[in-house]
Structure 1
Amino acid sequence: MEASRHAGDVAVAVAGSYGVEAMFTLSGGHVFPLYDGAVHEKMPIVDVRHEQSAVFAAEATARLTRKPGLAVLTAGPGVTNGVSGITTARFNGSPLVVLGGRAPQSRWGTGALQELDHPPLLAPVTKLAFTAASAESVGQDVESAFRTAIAPHRGPVFLDLYMDHLFSPAPAHAVSTPTPSPLEPDTDALAGIARHLAEAERPVLVFGSDVWMDRAEEAARDFAEQWRLPVIPNGQGRGILPSGHELLVTRARSIAFGQADLVIVVGAPLDFRLGYGWFGGKEGAPLAKVVHLADTPSQLATHTGTVGSAAGDLSLVLWGLGSACENAGVDPTSYAPWTTRLAEAAKAATAADAELLNASADPIHPVRIYGELARLLADDAVVIGDGGDFVSYAGKYVESRQPGCWLDPGPYGCLGTGLGYAIAARLSRPSSQVVLLLGDGAAGFSLMDVDTLVRHRLPVVMICGNNGSWGLEKHPMRLLYGYDVAADLQPQCRYDQVVTALGGGGELVTRPEEIGPALRRAFDSGVPYLVNVATDPDVAYPRNTTGL
C-alpha cells in the first residue's frame, strides 16, 4: 500500500512489520479503522465470542511462534474484559500488544459511550500502558509498543487510540527494526557457578519457559547432555529433552528436589511451582545450593538466597557456563551415581504408572484418560491444559516429545485460557494435532468460543475431565473444615452437547473401555470435537503445600 488512508492502516502495517500474522478481536465500533487496515493489509481477522479469548489467543500465538501477538479490543468493557488475559501474558513473559479503542478526544470528558481512561488500569499488569497522542503519532506509538513488548524481558504492552484519531488521515510510517545486541552474561558469575557444580554430588538442572522463548532450547539440551545433568522441565521447558530421554527425570521430581545439593534453575522464576526456591532438606539431606539463570537481571530471584546467578541471552549464558565448566574441571563421573539413581527412580515410577494408565476402575480414574491419549499423540502434538486437578494429572503424565508443544496458563493460574489457546495453536500449527484438556470448571469460562472454532474451521480435540466439582477446592476444603460449599457442579453435565449445538461434535463417556474409541473418533472427525469423560469425583490429585 503506497499511501495510508487513515491511522488504522498505519497501525496494522506497523504490526505486520513486526511479524504479526493475525488479529484477534471481538467486534467494536471504536476500532473499525483497525479492521479496515487489516483488510487493506490482508491480515486475517479472527473474531471471537469474548474479549478474554482474543487476548488469550494472541498471547498463545506469541508463546508458540515466539513472535509478538496482537489483540484488538474495543473501548470500555472490551478492554476490561481482556485484563485477565493481559495479566496472564505479564506473568508468562509473552510479547503481546493490545490495541484498545478509546472514546473520541473531541468528546472526551462529556460522557461519551464507553469513555474510560484505560492506561491507569493496565499499567500494573503491563510493561507499558499509554495513549497515542495524535493521528500523526500512531505509527511511531505502535512501533514503540511492539519494540517494548519484544525487548527482554518480554511482556504485554497496552496502547489505546482515540476513535477520532483512528478515523483521521495519517502519514505512512517506515519501521526501523535494528537488531539489538544480545545481553552478555557476566563471565565471573558463570565461573563461580561452574565451581559450585564441580563440587556438587547431587545436582539438578531445571529448564523453564524462557529457555524456549529465548530460542535457547538447542543450547540447553547441549549443556545438559555434555555435562550429564538430570533435568526437570517447567512450563514450556517441556520437550527440550524429549519424552524418554535418559536425563529427563520428571517422574523422580520428589527425590530430585528433596535430596539435591545443587539446583540450577534456567529461565523460570523461583515461584510456588518450584517451592519458592527451597530445595533439599529431605531424608537427612541439607538444603540445596541454588543457582538462578535468567534472560534479564529483573528476573533474578531476590526473595531467597542463591549461591550464584547470571543474566543474559540464555543461549549465551548456557554456552558460557559450558566453557566455565571446562575451566573448572567439572567431572560428570563425580555425580554419575546420583544421575543413575534418578534415572532408575524415574524409570520405576513410569513402570508403576501402568496400573493407573490402564485402570479399569468404574467410575473412571482421570489418569486412565492420559493412558489412552498417549497412544494417539503424534510427536508434534500441541497439548493445552486449562483446569485444576484434571490438568495437574496431565502435567504429571503427559511428556512432550518436542519443545514448544505444551501450553498451560502459567503461574497466574487463570482458568478460561483453553479455547483462546486452542484457536492460536490450530492457526500457528496447522499440520499438528491440537488437544485441549479441560476441567469441567474451566469449560464454563470459554466453551462458547467453540463457535469461533467452528466458524473459522479450526478442528481441535477437546477432552473434558468431568468430575462434577471444583475439585481443586472441594477436597482441600473438606480436609480443612470437614465439609465443602460452593464446590459442586452439575454431575455429568453435557458439555459435549454444547459443542454439537455450536456445530462441532462430541459425546459423553462413562465407562473406561469407551475412552480410546471416543478419542479416535475425535481425532478422525475433522471438526471441533469434545470427549466428555465422567470421572470419579472422589479422586483428588495428591498435593503438598511446598509446590514440590
Structure 2
Amino acid sequence: MELTGAQALIKSLEMEGVEVVFGLPGGAILPVYDPLLDSSIRHVLVRHEQGAGHAAEGYAQVTGRPGVAMVTSGPGATNIVTPLMDAMMDSVPLVVVSGQVPTTAIGTDAFQETAITSITMGITKHNWLVTDPADLPRVVAEAFHVATSGRPGPVLVDVPKDVSNARTSWYWPSADDLDLPGYRLPRAPEPGLVRRAAELLLGAERPVLYVGGGVIKAEASEALRRLVDLSGAPVVTTLMARGAFPDDDPRCLGMPGMHGTWTATTAMQRADLLVALGSRFDDRVTGKVATFAPGAKVVHVDVDPAEIGKVRRADVGIVADCKVAIEALCEALEELGSTPEGRARPGTPAASRPDLGPWHAQLAKWRQAHPLRYEQTQGGPLKPQFVVETLRELSPPDTVVVTGVGQHQMWASQYWRFAEPRTWVTSGGAGTMGFAVPAALGAKVGRPDRTVWAIDGDGCFQMTAQELVTATAERIPVKVAILNNAYLGMVRQWQELFYEERYSEVYLSPDLPDYVQWAEAMGCRAFRVESPEEVAPTIEKANEIDDRPVVIDFRTDAFEKVYPMVPAGASNDEIIEGPAQGEGGR
C-alpha cells in the first residue's frame, strides 16, 4: 500500500493507539493535517502551541499514556519548547510532532525555519529529523518507545514538508526493526542489593519512605501500600507524588520540603534511614544538602541510573523500575520474617527488629503540635486555604486537581486530601506558570468521567487563559478556581520576607482584567466571590454545571503567605511555621 509521508505519519499514530492530538496547524505541518480528516484520532485545536504541549501533559499525567501534540515549524515549534522542558523535568511521556521547511530549504533561513532538533536536544529524551518518508513508521514507533519506557519523558519528531508530501510504501515495524543504539532499559534489581535494603529497613529505628513521582509513573501505588504494611515505615509524598499513598492513612505525613508539613520535613531530618523511591533529592525537598537528614542512611531506588548518588550518596543504590523494585523489597521483607500485619515471625531476622512504636508516637506528637494553620474569620478577608478546603469538601472524592505554580499550588497540595494516584496534576521541576488551564483541559479529555478543578493564581491564569476558548469550542467542561490576590503572590512573599518589603513589579490589580467578563467572553459561566459566606454556595453552583467551562474569581487575602516555609538555601532545621510561631519551635 502506497501512502504519502503525511498519511504514513497519521497511520503510525493510529497504530500506537493515539486517541487525541492537541495542536495548531501552519504551513509546514499542513500536509499532515489533511489525512487527519479521515482519521479516528480526535484533534483538539488549541489557541497557542504552549497550550497544546501542556494539554498533552495533563492528558498523560491522568491517563498514564503518552500525550501527543502537533505544531508547525518556526514559532510553532519554539512555542512548545516550554512544555517539552516541563515534561522533561517531571518525567511526563510526551510526543511532539513538528513541521519543518522542505529539506532543500533547511539551512537557508527559509520562512518559519528553525533548527528545533538542536534547540530541544537538552530538553528531550531524544529527537529525530526525518529526511526519508520510508523512515516515518519506524521513527514514530521509536519515539513512543523512548517516551514511555524507562524514565518517561518527552520526544520530538521533526518532519519536513517535502517528506510529508512524498510517497512511500506502508509498513509497520516489529520490535526488532527499532534502531536505538545505546538505549538500554534497566534490568531487574540485584537481589543482593534488595536484601541489603530490606535488612536496613528492619534495623532502622526511625525509617521514612521518601516517595517521589516515579512511584506514580511506575503504577506502583498498590505495591507501596504493601511495603508500608510490611515495614511499618511512615511515608512522605513529594509534590509530584501526591496521591501515591492516601493522605487519610495515619502513616502518611504529607509533603516534605520548602512548603511541606512540619512533621514530614522534620521526620526526614531526624530519620536514621531514608528509603527514596522514585524521588531525586530535589533542592526544594532537601534544603541545604549538607544539613539534610544528617543521621540517615539512604536506600535509593530509581529507574534512571543518573539519579543514584547525584545529590546524596546512597548506601544502597538500586536501578530498577519502582514497581518491580518495591515488589522485590516486599518479598525480601517477607523472607526475613515481616508479616502483612506489621508483626514478625518468631525465629526470623525481623523478630529482633527495633520497636517502631516510639517513632510513630513521636510523629503523632509532632503532628498534634505542628498542624497546618490558618484562621478564617467571619467577615474577615477571604483566606485561600479556606477556598481550597471548601472545594475539597464539596467536590467528588475522585476529583482531578490541576494547578499552576506559586502560592496557590502549595495551598492546593497542603489542603487537598488525595486518596489515589493520578488525581493531582501540576508542574514541579520546571515550575511553569500558566500550566493549569491547558493541563486541566487535557486532563478532562483524558478522564471525561471525572470532575476536573484547576486551582490557579491570577498571575498564572493571565498567561494561558485563552485555552478556555478551546475548552468551550471543544465542549470540555473544566472548572477553574482563581485565587485572585492581585499579586504575583510567591514573589511578593519572598520580597516581604527577604527584601525588606520592597515590592518590585509584583502588583497585578484585582480588577484588571475583569475575570468574570473575560471568562464569559470565552464562553464560560463565571462567578465572583468576595466573602467566606459566598464560597460554598458558589462552588455548589459550579459543580452543577457540566455543559461548559466554569470560572470562579475568588478575591482572596492579598497578604496571606504560604507556611511552613524553609528559606531558599537554608537547612530544613530552619523551617518557619508562621509569623505567630516564629522559627523552628522545637
2:8 corresponding residue in structure 1: 10
Residues 124/193 of structure 1: CA separation in 2 closer, same or farther (3 Å cut): same
Q: CA deviation at 1:226?
A: 2.0
Aligned residues of 2:7 and 2:35 also touching (Cα < 8 A)? yes
Could you tell me how far apart the structure 2 residues matched to 1:373 and 1:335 are? 36
262, 266, 269: which is aligned to 1:258?
269
Q: CA deviation at 1:460?
A: 1.2
Could you tell me how far apart the structure 2 residues matched to 1:281 and 1:313 are? 26
Q: Residues 118-197 of structure 1: matches in 2 within 5 Å?
A: 118-177=116-175, 183-197=187-201
Q: Residues 23-422 of structure 1: matches in 2 within 5 Å?
A: 23-177=21-175, 183-250=187-254, 251=261, 252-275=263-286, 278=289, 287-328=295-336, 329-330=349-350, 334-343=355-364, 345-346=366-367, 356=375, 359-360=377-378, 362-422=380-440
Aligned residues of 2:230 and 2:333 also touching (Cα < 8 A)? no
Could you tell me how far apart the structure 1 residues matched to 2:127 and 2:571 are? 33
Aligned residues of 1:468 and 1:491 also touching (Cα < 8 A)? yes
Aligned residues of 1:205 and 1:230 also touching (Cα < 8 A)? yes
421, 427, 437: which is aligned to 2:445?
427
Could you tell me how far apart the structure 1 residues matched to 2:34 and 2:203 are? 62
- Greater mean deviation of Cα atoms: 538-547 or 408-417: 538-547
- Greater mean deviation of Cα atoms: 411-420 or 235-244: 235-244
SS class of match (1:115)? coil
Aligned residues of 1:265 and 1:292 also touching (Cα < 8 A)? yes
**CA deviation digits over 1:252-308, x for unaligned, max 9?**
3133123222111101111123216959878xxx53222211123133232322222
Given residue 505 of structure 2, which amino acid in structure 1 is its aligned partner?
A
Given residue 288 of structure 1, which amino acid in structure 2 is its aligned partner?
A
Could you tell me how far apart the structure 2 residues matched to 1:246 and 1:347 are? 12
- Greater mean deviation of Cα atoms: 181-190 or 121-130: 181-190
1:541 corresponding residue in structure 2: 562
Could you tell me how far apart the structure 2 residues matched to 1:276 and 1:148 are? 32
Aligned residues of 1:73 and 1:79 also touching (Cα < 8 A)? yes
SS class of match (2:487)? coil
Aligned residues of 1:280 and 1:287 also touching (Cα < 8 A)? no
- Greater mean deviation of Cα atoms: 328-337 or 533-542: 328-337
Q: Establish whether residue 444 from structure 1 lines up as the match of residue 462 from structure 2.
A: yes
Residues 221/236 of structure 1: CA separation in 2 closer, same or farther (3 Å cut): farther
**Count of residues paired in the alignment:** 540
Residues 227/279 of structure 1: CA separation in 2 closer, same or farther (3 Å cut): farther
Could you tell me how far apart the structure 1 residues matched to 2:361 and 2:18 are? 45
**CA deviation digits over 1:450-506, x for unaligned, max 9?**
000000111111101111111111121233332121111012442222111111011
Q: CA deviation at 1:126?
A: 0.7
SS class of match (1:136)? helix
Aligned residues of 1:267 and 1:294 also touching (Cα < 8 A)? yes
Residues 347/172 of structure 1: CA separation in 2 closer, same or farther (3 Å cut): farther
Aligned residues of 1:221 and 1:240 also touching (Cα < 8 A)? no
Q: Residues 441-480 of structure 1: matches in 2 within 5 Å?
A: 441-480=459-498
SS class of match (1:24)? strand
Q: CA deviation at 1:377?
A: 2.2
Q: CA deviation at 1:359?
A: 4.3
SS class of match (1:375)? helix
Could you tell me how far apart the structure 2 residues matched to 1:97 and 1:519 are? 36
Residues 22/4 of structure 1: CA separation in 2 closer, same or farther (3 Å cut): farther
Residues 347/401 of structure 1: CA separation in 2 closer, same or farther (3 Å cut): farther
1:484 corresponding residue in structure 2: 503
Given residue 208 of structure 1, which amino acid in structure 2 is its aligned partner?
G
SS class of match (2:157)? strand
Residues 209/258 of structure 1: CA separation in 2 closer, same or farther (3 Å cut): same
Q: Residues 487-498 of structure 1: matches in 2 within 5 Å?
A: 487-493=506-512, 494-498=514-518
Could you tell me how far apart the structure 1 residues matched to 2:199 and 2:288 are? 20
Could you tell me how far apart the structure 2 residues matched to 1:547 and 1:522 are? 42
Identity fraction in percent:
27
Q: CA deviation at 1:323?
A: 2.7
Residues 49/263 of structure 1: CA separation in 2 closer, same or farther (3 Å cut): same
SS class of match (1:437)? strand
2:523 corresponding residue in structure 1: 503
Given residue 416 of structure 2, which amino acid in structure 1 is its aligned partner?
V
Residues 359/305 of structure 1: CA separation in 2 closer, same or farther (3 Å cut): farther
Aligned residues of 1:453 and 1:459 also touching (Cα < 8 A)? yes
Given residue 159 of structure 1, which amino acid in structure 2 is its aligned partner?
V
C-alpha RMSD of matched pairs (Å): 2.3
Could you tell me how far apart the structure 2 residues matched to 1:4 and 1:207 are? 50
TM-score scaled by length of structure 1: 0.93
Could you tell me how far apart the structure 2 residues matched to 1:214 and 1:256 are? 25
Could you tell me how far apart the structure 2 residues matched to 1:391 and 1:147 are? 32
1:523 corresponding residue in structure 2: 543
SS class of match (2:427)? coil
Could you tell me how far apart the structure 1 residues matched to 2:190 and 2:445 are? 39
Aligned residues of 2:22 and 2:46 also touching (Cα < 8 A)? yes
Could you tell me how far apart the structure 2 residues matched to 1:279 and 1:465 are? 36
Structure 1 regions of 5+ residues with no counterpart?
Answer: none
Given residue 215 of structure 1, which amino acid in structure 2 is its aligned partner?
E
Given residue 383 of structure 2, which amino acid in structure 1 is its aligned partner?
H
Aligned residues of 2:150 and 2:186 also touching (Cα < 8 A)? no
Q: Establish whether residue 21 from structure 1 lines up as the match of residue 19 from structure 2.
A: yes
Could you tell me how far apart the structure 2 residues matched to 1:171 and 1:18 are? 18
Aligned residues of 2:480 and 2:550 also touching (Cα < 8 A)? yes
Could you tell me how far apart the structure 2 residues matched to 1:181 and 1:489 are? 48
Given residue 487 of structure 1, which amino acid in structure 2 is its aligned partner?
V
Q: CA deviation at 1:109?
A: 3.9
Q: CA deviation at 1:201?
A: 0.9
Could you tell me how far apart the structure 2 residues matched to 1:387 and 1:75 are? 28
Could you tell me how far apart the structure 1 residues matched to 2:485 and 2:39 are? 46
- Greater mean deviation of Cα atoms: 458-467 or 11-20: 11-20
Given residue 441 of structure 2, which amino acid in structure 1 is its aligned partner?
I
- Greater mean deviation of Cα atoms: 319-328 or 260-269: 319-328
SS class of match (2:486)? coil
Could you tell me how far apart the structure 2 residues matched to 1:264 and 1:361 are? 46
Could you tell me how far apart the structure 1 residues matched to 2:484 and 2:306 are? 40
Structure 2 regions of 5+ residues with no counterpart?
Answer: 179-183, 255-260, 337-348, 573-586
